[in-house]
Structure 1
């Protein structure tokens, strides 16, 4: 199921509108610069499109929008671990045990609370939270007193800030990511700038440590963890004459992922040819870039996304 313009009535701009997409409660946000669609389940940005551009954020045409199930595409929130828990640092693994634990943490299928919303001129701000008092069964084993907040700001760009507050009496170790699926004209037209000379872990070849020799061009299945990164990466798309700047805060690691041909056929909510039109560049705190918080401390993982024409 997909959302089309005919599904929602036009409103004055800027605005925040509550809508339903299949089984999910969502917020549709518009200002004079662009449009955002957000699911309260998982606090997941589903779509972001600046006016006059192709979408920056990719959403699968086969996304199901079902309660209790993650949606393929958008910007899922991965917390308090990223990927397979058993591939995480020991101090992250130590906080979680027992039962079947899903990839990418515990909050992607939880309904978040909209705590604040504000419109100031052309700027729209949303604050979503999983409060410290949550009674979600999947979070009950975590130290009591943790609070997770996601601030989303739409102005001429898109800003996300994911804040963890450790209000417990225990030391907390976590990994996390803003798992951004970027829309591209075709993967063969794309270059990722800012990775040259950076170290990475090649997860598809025994988690070997490698060094990126030049800007990244994706030409096969890709699943790499980049470390010690500069604050800015840039996704250059010759087909759409566009670059997307990805400006990270509170992060020196990122994951780059594309399933390519064979794996795409095995993925749920994913068309066989969808790999051609997306690339994940996930702003993260993973591996040695994990977050450790003493009682009373907090950490914010943030990213700002900017689309602009190629010069």
Structure 2
């Protein structure tokens, strides 16, 4: 298991339990206690948790730490791929799409068919790279006839998640209109809605929603209950939410799927085999305290 994967699992347990013990983590992760301590030291230095004697605790309710693209891409890989594959069913010929930054939207971009005559506008460097002609799959006569995917890259300031944000991005969004917006998010919460740790990225994402006929959120189950610093939009704004089968074990009483079904227009659950294989740590749950920050969109 990669270090980034171990640290993500540590943060997952903190999100659900409030505190973790080094000995428990070592047993579940199958590594030495020294390795766990080094991971906790790294996360403490990044401000993502607070190191305490024998373990770690959460620093607070809201997350303002924006993980990098490479770090996030190693997390929940199978779930993201399953979600991306399910999202393809929403496509129709000649659609115009807005695709936000994120590792799940990157997986989606990699799978986009080249023979539907799609137009994609994105503020994600990685998504744009995935749409370069010939980067995915062999060229076909049908692809050539339809012209592949027309790609528009929105300029702006680069973030750790390889998204482009700021005034230049917002100006580019002013006259755009899309059929669907496919969005990756940092957190999804019943009270806080969809959120980001980056204020400027939240602003850009909200503008994407406003420029689209409908919003499709692609978010693996680990995002449930996570609240970022900046609000993007309430759950009611989501036309379709695609997550993975790990959502069945989320929430204080495993009620996450039911809550989301009532809150969004359409909840779709993609099968992700590894989501059912995680072993929760034996610890008590600390109630999640939520609040909505930022603007609605």
Using the size of structure 1 for normalisation, the TM-score is 0.28
Higher strand share: 1
Higher helix share: 2
